[in-house]
Structure 1
């Protein structure tokens, strides 16, 4: 699994002109899933994200997690995170999981984040053409790939 995490002061997702999810201060997480991803990737990644210290404490030092900051979370599926661009000018998405594999893993990831935070998170619409709006706070943008855990 590969994620791009952005610390935001607000974010929302719109599908076909209708806003389907929005958050205030928290994390916007774009997640890409590969065929080889498993539950252990979900478990490791959810723990890593929910404990990642990227929010400012009283001394304005990034020392608080989204849990500590009581932030919101918006999770968006994004298969393009697995784009291969080495050859030619058209990205290849051969490493991205097909929906029959990706959807259950995506849903399990959302549930695991909710368990870690003990709260409901917002999501996009898997496979839909989504318009994502955000105000990146910092800016703070972090990428994590479960294939590079070590």
Structure 2
């Protein structure tokens, strides 16, 4: 971890980091998160019985779209040309859906925020589509799983014990 704050100018005001001189490298980030719901809600998602439509298909597209809009939503993020976004779903068959987003680029800065935003938006879309039957859904455990590329190298999330 570095102590140098790179998002402040010489007047101690916020700035976007200058990445002009950074090398173009292949970069990838993987993020994950979960949404917990009533068992009946998950069953209805699987059975295609949610009135708003195919929950996972819509959520997947929403997550991909969100990743491409990151710099419009997060003030200090650079506009990054993404070369790939893939979102996967896994559930426990009872009451929880886990979302995993993998985002790639060949650029001068990483795509961690793009992956995290993809996960958050995917989860929020699931919530939105199911809220009429389950307002008590809980979004949890959203975090960066892994990132690679760039000067800071490879990172893998390790839960503190």
Specify which structure has the higher proportion of strand.
1
In the superposition, the TM-score normalised over structure 1's length comes to 0.32
In the superposition, the TM-score normalised over structure 2's length comes to 0.30
The higher radius of gyration belongs to 2
